[in-house]
Amino acid sequence: MNQEAQSLAVKRAQVEFHNFASLGEPERALRVYAEENVRRGAIIRNHLEFLGDMTPYLEIGANAGHSSYMLSNEFGADGFASDISADSLRHGIVLMDKWGLQKAPVRITADALHLPFADNSLRCVMAFQMLSQFMNIEAIFLEVKRVLAPGGVFLFAEEPLRRKLSLRLYRCPYWDTMKPWERKLYEWGLLGYLVRDVIGAAQEEGFGIRQNHSMELKDWHALIVRHFGEHEFELFVPERGWGERVVKNIARKIDKHGSDWVPARLLGGTLAAACKKAGPAQAVEPSAPFESRLQCPDCGGKMALDPEQTLYCQQCPYKAPIEGNVYNLLRSADKKELYPGDREDVIDFSLPAHAKQLGEGWSDLEGQYGNKYRWIGARATAKLTNIRKQPQKLRVRGHAHANWFAAGPAPQIAIQINGAPLRTWTMERTGLFILEADLPDAPFYDVAIEATPTWQFPPDDRVFTVTLSMLRLDPQ
């Protein structure tokens, strides 16, 4: 079941996307995190009585951990922030200073399908806008139910509801990457009748993160009642412009209870739900050491903490030192693939030794935490080695600035491998992008990246095209 829920390639894409998502724009990221916490805090308050004691809590898919900081500081709970991206969690450390926070959650890199927590060890598990990144959402429900103590609550929110009234013509971009006519339709409340997914799906799908937007309200309801004893719902149905406002009002009149159930089926929206695990409430010692709640990701043994603050398994050789205030508790096989470190088939700009594989045409390193990147001009070169000795594909991660699109003809990126053309891409939108192409069999690859048109930003005298943050080889 877990294998079907999310592939290793998607996990790799999530690590890359979340490491790079704020693109050296910490102030913009902080504003978004603050806005999300306002919404999420309101949902938590609406269900406080149902939630009860939230210590110890776990937030899965926490990104920078901003909502976990809210739980610890605003709601006085103690617990854990987990995400598959270690750099996202490290990036969140700046919140302590910027927001003047006193308490921090324990930050752990973890896979939501294999949580490194003992059975019945938590009082509350929270997830915001992350369940739809799994093709088998029930696999997450089973894992959450395992780690929750009886009487514990699973609160999830911002999960998309599939709408019936849509032609599903294409995936929806983010607002800042929409074209003028898309923005106008969005403001009128008409874009949702054309696109197949929620806003932003195009970028994450293009990055390799698969989106599961197949769940209607009845599907979520069936899944919840199958696994939890009690629940509370909260529906958020869009009402953008006259195009959605009119239909929503009509649908409410059709609903025999005058609720948002029929509007949610027709227009979609998002769902929040608080789900209580069946059985007599079981006490969970709130002051127990955090390591006592953990289990080894490899063998399931008990974890302990040594004087150097390294977590180690008491049954097998597994160890997880603290790195930048984050513990990486992925299974050893996944950690090796998702966090390979300095390796000749990966040029990861967030790693210190990456520069030795770069050739000409790269600007100085910029960004912070995992969001390290370099600008290129008209041409840049690099070298990768095929250490796997099997057919490979090239994966290039970057960002297209709005100035590039204003500089002239449609922007293009052309890549040559060992002196021969590989492929040319025409870029259609600003924002994050991934370029992938299968490679001919060879022991090593001299990579040449050419981009047009160039642009400048006075008084800076450099010539710009795009920002890049990673080049790597992956199995075909």
Position 266, amino acid: L
pLDDT, residue 435, reads: 94
Mean pLDDT score of the chain? 92
pLDDT, residue 246, reads: 96
Instruction: Report the distance separating Cα 347 and Cα 355, nearest Å.
Output: 8
Helices and strands in the chain: count of H runs, count of E runs? 15, 22
CA 169 to chain centre: 25
Fold annotation for 346-475: Jelly Rolls (2.60.120)
DSSP secondary structure code for residue 271 in this structure: E
Provide the pLDDT confidence category of residue 218 given band limits of 50, 70 and 90: very high
Instruction: Report the distance separating Cα 402 and Cα 184, nearest Å.
Output: 19
Indicate whether 126 pLDDT > 80. Answer: yes
Task: Provide, rounded to the nearest whole percent, the portion of the chain with pLDDT above 90.
Answer: 74
346-475 has the same fold as 2-276: no
CATH of 2-276 given 3.20.170.30, 3.40.630.10, 3.40.50.150, 3.30.9.10: 3.40.50.150
Position 3, amino acid: Q
For residues 375 and 467, is the Cβ–Cβ distance under 8 A? yes
- Report the alpha-carbon angle 181-187-191, nearest 5: 60
> Residues 136-140: contacts with CB within 8 Å, 24+ apart?
136/1, 136/2, 136/4, 136/5, 137/5, 137/212, 137/215, 137/223, 138/1, 138/223, 138/227, 139/1, 139/2, 139/4, 139/5, 139/113, 140/5, 140/60, 140/112, 140/113
Report the pLDDT averaged over residues 375-392: 94
Instruction: Report the distance separating Cα 386 and Cα 243, nearest Å.
Output: 53
Indicate whether 21 pLDDT > 70. Answer: no
Give the pLDDT confidence of 135-155 residue by residue, as tens digits: 999 999 999 999 999 999 999
pLDDT, residue 24, reads: 54
pLDDT, residue 1, reads: 43
Task: Kindly list the domain boundaries of the chain, sorted by start residue.
Answer: 2-276, 346-475
Closest among 112, 126, 111, 136 to 212, alpha carbons compared: 136
**Residue 371 token pair:** 């969001």
Q: In terms of residues, how long is the chain?
A: 476
Provide the pLDDT confidence category of residue 2 given band limits of 50, 70 and 90: very low
Closest among 378, 463, 394 to 435, alpha carbons compared: 394
